[in-house]
C-alpha cells in the first residue's frame, strides 16, 4: 500500500499542533475572508456559516499533498477544522472502508496518545470508535468516527475525529469543545455535520466502477485491489443501472462466512463480475454466471497469493461444473426457482435478494 504520510507527522498536522518542527507550512488563501469558498478537487462550496459556526480562515499547505484546511469556530461553542488532502496522482477510494482510510484514521487517533506522552495533552481517553453516515445529496457517505477526551491547558475537552474518502481525496473533520458544554457542543457537532452533508454529493460513477474493476480484477489481493472493492460495492448497491441477486446455492461458501480466509473478497468478486457484465451488455439484469466466473478467477488468484490458503469445496464444485460446461445451466435452473426481484419504495430494483 502506498504510504501517504508519516502517521505521527500527519497526525500532528491534522491535530493543529504547531509546536513540532517539520510540520508543513501553510499560507492563507486570498479572497476567502467572505463569501463562498469552493475547494477545487472536490467541488465542495463552503459558506461563511455552517450550523452554529462561522468560517474563520482557509489555509493552503505548500506541500501539495497536504491540501487545504477550512477552519470554523464560534466563541463559547466549538471549533472545527475540515481537511481535504491527498497525493495529486492518486485517487483515494470513496467512503471509509478502504485500507488507506483506515490507516489515515488510525494514524490520527494514535497521534493524540503520542502527543499525550510528549506532554501536549493529559489524560487522553478514547470514548468510542464507530461509523458515521454523512447525509449527502447523493449516497449516504460512511466515515470513520472517534470521540476522545483529554485535558489541554487545564481545560477538559471533547473532540470528534472523522475521516472518509470523497471525490479522490481524504476528507477529515475535527470538531472540539469543552466537556462542561457537552450538550451544547454535541448539538453544534451534529448541526455542523448536517450542513457539511448539504454541500456534498457522493456517488460512484460508471467510469469509477470500471476503473476500480480493472484494478481489482488484475490484483484482487493487493492493497489497491482490496481498497477498490469500496467503489465496486457502492456502485452495485446504489446504481439503477444494475441489479445483483444473491442465492445460497449460487454463492454456497458465504453462509460459512469467516471459515474461509478470503470469503468477503470472493463475495465482492461475485458482485464485480456480475455488474461488469451488465454494464457491457447495457442491460440491467442480474448475471450470476458472470459473477461466478469472476469468483473462479479470483479463487485461482488466491492460491497464488497465499499458497497456504485452504481449499473451498463449494467453489471447487463450481469450478468442476464450469469445466464440464454445466455451470451456466446450473445457475439458470436455480434462478428459475428464485422469487421475482422485489421493488424498493421508489420503484428501483432491490440490489440483493435471497433464494432457496
Q: Residues 144-191: pLDDT tens digits?
A: 999 999 999 889 999 999 999 998 899 999 999 999 999 999 999 999
Q: Identify the CATH assignment for 7-198 out of 3.40.1440.10, 3.40.50.970, 3.30.450.20, 3.40.1000.10.
A: 3.40.1000.10
Alpha-carbon span 177 to 79, nearest angstrom: 7
Task: Let me know: does 75 contact 199? Beta carbons within 8 Å.
Answer: no
Can you give the pLDDT at residue 14?
Answer: 55
Choose among 133, 131, 116, 339: nearest CA to 246: 339
Q: List CB contacts of 147: < 8 A, sequence separation 6 or more.
A: 126, 127, 128, 158, 159, 160, 161
Task: Let me know: does 156 contact 178? Beta carbons within 8 Å.
Answer: yes
Set of cell numbers at residue 2: 502506498
Choose among 37, 38, 39, 40: nearest CA to 55: 37
- 85 pLDDT band, cuts 50/70/90, is very high
Summarize pLDDT for 273-295 with one digit per residue, the tens.
999 999 999 999 999 999 999 99
- Residue 260, judged by CB atoms within 10 A of its CB (0-12, 13-18, 19+), counts as buried
Residue span(s) of the chain under CATH 3.40.1000.10 come to: 7-198
Mean pLDDT of 313-320: 94
Q: Are strands 140-152 and 155-166 parallel, antiparallel or unpaired?
A: antiparallel
- Whether this prediction's pTM lies above 0.85 is answered by no
Choose among 259, 283, 262, 280: nearest CA to 216: 262
pLDDT higher than 80, residue 130? yes
At 268, which helix (H) or strand (E)? helix 263-281
Amino acid at each position: 500500500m502506498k504510504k501517504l504520510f508519516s502517521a505521527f507527522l500527519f497526525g500532528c498536522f491534522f491535530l493543529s499542533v504547531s509546536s513540532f518542527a517539520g510540520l508543513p507550512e501553510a499560507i492563507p488563501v486570498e479572497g476567502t475572508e467572505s463569501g463562498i469558498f469552493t475547494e477545487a478537487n472536490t467541488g465542495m462550496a463552503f459558506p461563511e456559516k455552517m450550523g452554529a459556526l462561522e468560517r474563520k480562515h482557509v489555509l493552503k499547505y505548500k506541500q501539495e499533498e497536504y491540501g487545504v484546511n477550512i477552519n470554523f469556530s464560534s466563541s463559547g461553542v466549538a471549533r472545527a477544522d475540515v481537511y481535504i488532502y491527498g497525493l495529486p496522482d492518486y485517487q483515494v477510494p470513496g467512503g471509509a472502508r478502504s485500507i488507506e482510510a483506515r490507516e489515515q484514521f488510525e494514524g490520527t487517533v494514535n497521534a493524540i496518545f503520542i502527543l499525550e506522552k510528549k506532554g501536549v495533552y493529559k489524560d487522553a481517553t478514547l470514548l468510542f470508535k464507530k461509523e458515521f453516515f454523512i447525509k449527502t445529496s447523493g449516497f449516504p457517505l460512511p466515515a470513520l468516527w472517534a470521540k476522545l477526551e483529554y485535558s489541554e491547558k487545564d481545560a477538559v475537552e471533547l473532540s470528534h475525529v472523522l475521516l472518509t474518502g470523497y471525490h479522490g481525496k481524504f476528507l477529515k473533520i475535527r470538531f472540539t469543545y469543552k466537556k462542561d458544554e457537552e450538550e451544547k457542543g454535541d448539538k453544534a457537532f451534529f448541526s455542523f455535520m448536517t450542513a457539511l452533508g448539504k454541500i456534498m454529493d457522493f456517488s460512484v460513477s460508471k467510469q469509477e466502477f470500471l476503473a476500480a474493476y480493472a484494478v481489482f480484477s488484475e490484483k484482487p489481493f493487493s492493497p489497491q485491489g482490496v481498497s477498490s472493492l469500496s467503489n465496486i460495492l457502492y456502485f452495485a448497491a446504489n446504481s439503477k443501472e444494475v441489479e445483483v441477486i444473491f442465492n445460497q446455492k449460487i454463492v454456497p461458501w458465504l453462509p460459512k462466512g469467516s471459515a474461509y480466509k478470503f470469503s468477503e473478497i470472493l463475495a465482492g468478486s461475485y458482485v464485480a463480475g456480475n455488474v461488469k457484465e451488465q454494464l457491457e451488455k447495457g442491460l440491467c439484469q442480474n448475471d450470476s454466471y458472470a459473477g461466478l466466473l469472476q469468483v473462479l478467477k479470483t479463487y485461482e488468484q488466491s492460491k497464488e497469493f497465499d499458497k497456504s490458503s485452504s481449499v473451498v469445496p463449494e467453489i471447487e464444485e463450481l469450478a468442476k461444473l464450469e469445466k464440464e460446461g454445466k455451470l451456466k445451466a446450473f445457475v439458470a435452473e436455480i434462478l428459475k426457482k428464485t422469487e421475482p426481484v422485489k421493488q424498493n419504495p421508489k420503484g428501483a430494483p432491490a440490489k440483493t435478494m435471497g433464494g432457496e
